Amino acid sequence: MKPVSLGELAARAGVSPATVSIVLNDRPLARHVADKTRLRIRQLAAELNYRPNHLAKAMLHQSTRTIGFICGDIATPYYAELADELAKVAEERGYRLMTQPTRWDIEKEFEALELLLTRAVDGILMYSMIGVTHRERLEKLCRPGQALVFLGNPSCNGFRSVGFDMEPGMMELFSYLLESGIREIALMDDLRFHQKCEAYRAACRRYGVSPREYEFHYGDLESEIACIDRVADERPELIIASSDYVAAMTISRLGQKGIRVPEDLSVVSIDGTRWAELYNPPLTAIKQDSALLARAGIEELLSALEGESEPHAVEIPTTLKFGGSVKINSTRSNRKGSER
């Protein structure tokens, strides 16, 4: 059945469109409408499949109370947890979240951005590098003052951004590992995304560790498996995986080859989601707190919506989260036991 308009519903009910709007939106004036009339309006609305015109309301109030979220992946643990946290914080502030996954395809990211801009969302959160890599194209698409915040990367060339400072967690990890007697510390990452790699190299320089990097491409399963196989063949003492998802894949693949974690090879993740605690063994991780990122990202977006013109680059420090995926030598274990 084709939905009726507000005017058609009002004509059927024998009242004015304003009365229908007052009743269906439960406005205070509805108490002055006769009970029979209120009941008739609601019954007709159900029978005639009436749906309010949200776009018209949005144009009237200049707000849809909707926030767009563009992200390459919402299936793996970190991004799924972030999307959930963003939705919760948005709801606290009276908004709804509209999510657009793009599979880390730059053209799809721009398509999603254009789509959300034409759908009249109030503001957009974007987990992407295009604020750095495609600045000119982005500026042509977005009007001045557009409420747009980049997540994940704390520096986006003048755009509002909220991201993580990887160095605190990485330095804390290196200190912990070296105290444990582990010096072969390798990184497994997609090196096109430089932030984690730069923090790893900075920690190697500070602590006098020779860097050892294994590269793959996100979303390319063949590349990811080949990278894990190289790690299995060369067997460093410890591998830092670039996400909880990659760490889980690594532990599973190593297990298929008879390599035990942490007995034969230690694994550290970068993410530290709730899911990391459910892996076998639970992951030691450099934690990127998705709840803090979500709250800071929404607050920055709302600042833009409220007219604050100065863009901020917010950095959230990472921390070290302990699990069971790192082999601890007996000397450290005994000393820790005596400290308890």
Sequence-distant (6+) residues with CB within 8 A of 67 are: 86, 90, 95, 96, 97, 98, 121, 122, 123, 124, 125, 298, 301
pLDDT at position 106: 92
* One domain, residues 160 and 297: yes
What is the rounded CA–CA span in Å between residue 264 and residue 286? 21
Please give the mean pLDDT across all residues of the chain: 89
Per-residue pLDDT for 319 more than 80?
A: yes
Pair 169, 313: CB distance under 8 Å:
no
Domain at 326, CATH number: 3.40.50.2300
* CA dist., res. 135 & res. 150, Å (int): 12
103 residue type, one letter: R
Q: Are residues 120 and 203 in the same domain?
A: no
Under 8 Å between Cβ of 339 and 189: no
CB 250 within 8 A of CB 239: yes
Q: Please, which contacts does 224-231 make with residues 24 or more away whose CB atoms are closer than 8 Å?
A: 224/249, 225/253, 227/188, 228/188, 228/253, 228/254, 229/253, 231/186, 231/188, 231/265
Which H or E run includes 315? strand 313-317
253 and 172 both lie in a single domain: yes
* 115: Cβ contacts below 8 Å, ≥ 6 apart: 100
Based on the domain organization, do 96 and 192 belong to the same domain?
no
Q: Which residue has the higher pLDDT, 28 or 122?
A: 122
60, part of any domain: no
**Same domain, yes or no, for 117 and 262?**
no
Considering the domain architecture, whether residues 127 and 26 belong to the same structural domain is answered as no
| Same domain, residue pair 174 and 257 | yes
**For residue 199, what are the domain limits?**
166-288+321-339
Domain assignment present for residue 266? The answer is yes
pLDDT band at 270 (very low <50, low <70, confident <90, very high): very high
Counting the structural domains of the chain, the total is 3
Does the structure show a pLDDT above 60 at 338? no
Any domain includes 59: no
Q: Which amino acid is at 25?
A: N
Judge whether 81 and 244 are in contact, CB under 8 Å.
Answer: no
Average confidence (pLDDT) over 42-51: 84
Report yes or no: 305 and 66 within 8 Å, Cβ to Cβ. Answer: no
d(CA 203, CA 173) in angstroms, rounded, equals 9
Q: What is the pLDDT of residues 300-317, one digit of tens each?
A: 999 999 888 788 899 999
For position 40, which CATH number holds?
Answer: 1.10.260
Q: Are residues 78 and 27 in the same domain?
A: no
β pairing state of 213-215 and 185-189: parallel
- Looking at the domain assignment, is residue 276 inside a domain? yes
- Asked if pLDDT for residue 128 goes beyond 60, the answer is yes
Domain membership of residue 121 (yes or no) is yes
The pLDDT of residue 169 is above 90: yes
The mean pLDDT of 104-113, rounded to a whole number, is 93
State whether 225 and 259 are in the same domain.
Answer: yes
pLDDT in tens, 213-245: 999 998 899 999 999 999 999 999 999 999 999
Domain membership of residue 140 (yes or no) is yes
Same domain, 277 and 307: no
Radius of gyration over alpha carbons of the chain, in Å?
Answer: 26
Residue 3: per-residue pLDDT: 63
Asked if residue 25 belongs to a domain, the reply is yes
Has residue 57 been placed in a domain?
no
Residue 200: its pLDDT value, please?
A: 98
Tens-place pLDDT, residues 133-158: 898 899 888 877 789 999 997 677 77
pLDDT digits (tens, 9 = 90+) for 84-94: 999 999 999 99
**Are residue 193 and residue 273 in the same domain, yes or no?**
yes
Q: Are residues 114 and 233 part of one domain?
A: no
Written as six digits, the tokens of 258 are: 């008879």
